[in-house]
Amino acid sequence: MDGLIIEQSAAGVHKKGAEILRHVVRERSVRGETTAIALSGGSTPLGMYRLLAREPYRSELPWNDVHLFWVDERCVPPDHPASNYGAARRELLDRVAIPPSNVHPMAGELAPLAGAVRYGDEIGEFFHMAPPEIPTFDLVFLGVGNDGHTASLFPGQISLDERKKWVIAVKGGNPNVHRLTLTLLVLNQAKKLVFMVSGREKAEIVQRVLQGPRENLPAQLIRPSGETPSWLLDREAARLLNEKRRNGDEHDTFE
């Protein structure tokens, strides 16, 4: 069942996201296991990063047991304003005691193809595997664009058909630049997938993805067969979802 979690505000979405991350990390840490998390880019997760960089998460989370990866990156240097890693560094990584070796950014500064190969190697090294095996992230956060893209998987692009590579180079989005992205192969292998979406301008695409016809929008291709992902929305982003869906087998959590 896809978990539809509707929070009162964007701040509620950030808090719930932080709570989900804390729950997954602590559940694994008490068993002596690390947690491999793939972070989304874009602006939505930044509020969650700011929360995680403050108490109680700052001191409470066992950061030594957390490994951070990215679902996608713009092919720009880390200090570029469009860098997803750069944003996470400013809002979170520079403010918590996570060992540098636990932070696995995509090499946006390299040529796209080289960056894709490099990241595939880094993931393989961490998970001690190589294709055709598929790495399993413990937790993946995703956003959705108004065109239904997620990560840097854009509608109609051949990237959606990739069934061998874990990381590929693409071009598109806003900004329309070269990007690196995890493929559906890897994203759909994750143990837990959470879409974090907030804001009035996302209501239409949320309704289209969740209640519209199957259009093979990238966000609709996330785990169509297995356990579908959780959708963590604020009321603004959820406002076009019909009541049945909102109050049916899913629950509204109002912070």
Q: Tell whether residue 120 is a contact of ligand 6PG (CB under 6 A).
A: no
Binding mask 160-189 for ligand 6PG (x = CB under 6 A): -------------x----------------
Smallest separation (angstroms) from ligand 6PG to the CB of 220 = 14
Smallest separation (angstroms) from ligand 6PG to the CB of 71 = 6
Applying CB under 6 A, among 40, 83, 159, 189 the residue interacting with ligand 6PG is: 40
Question: Among residues 127, 128, 116, which one has the least CA distance to residue 166?
Answer: 116
The interface region with ligand 6PG, picked from 29-37, 42-50, 160-168, 235-243 by CB under 6 A, is 42-50
Applying CB under 6 A, among 5, 12, 44, 137 the residue interacting with ligand 6PG is: 44
Q: Tell whether residue 76 is a contact of ligand 6PG (CB under 6 A).
A: no
Contacts of 12 (CB under 8 A, 6+ apart): 234, 253, 254, 255
Q: Tell whether residue 43 is a contact of ligand 6PG (CB under 6 A).
A: yes
d(CA 40, CA 87): 11
* Residue number, 61 or 206, with CB nearest to ligand 6PG: 206
Applying CB under 6 A, among 42, 112, 120, 172 the residue interacting with ligand 6PG is: 42
The answer to whether the Cα torsion of 219, 222, 227, 232 is positive or negative is: negative
Smallest separation (angstroms) from ligand 6PG to the CB of 42 = 3
d(CA 20, CA 18): 5
Applying CB under 6 A, among 12, 17, 41, 229 the residue interacting with ligand 6PG is: 41
d(CA 7, CA 237): 10
Number of residues that bind ligand 6PG (CB under 6 A): 15
Phi/psi region, residue 147 (left: phi>0; alpha: psi -120 to 50; beta: rest), is alpha
Q: Which of residues 189-248 bind ligand 6PG (CB under 6 A)?
A: none
Q: Give how far the C-alpha of residue 86 lies from the chain's centroid of Cα atoms, to the nearest Å.
A: 16
Smallest separation (angstroms) from ligand 6PG to the CB of 251 = 24
Q: Which of residues 126-165 bind ligand 6PG (CB under 6 A)?
A: 143-145, 149-152
Using CB under 6 A, list all residues that contact ligand 6PG: 40-44, 72, 84, 143-145, 149-152, 173
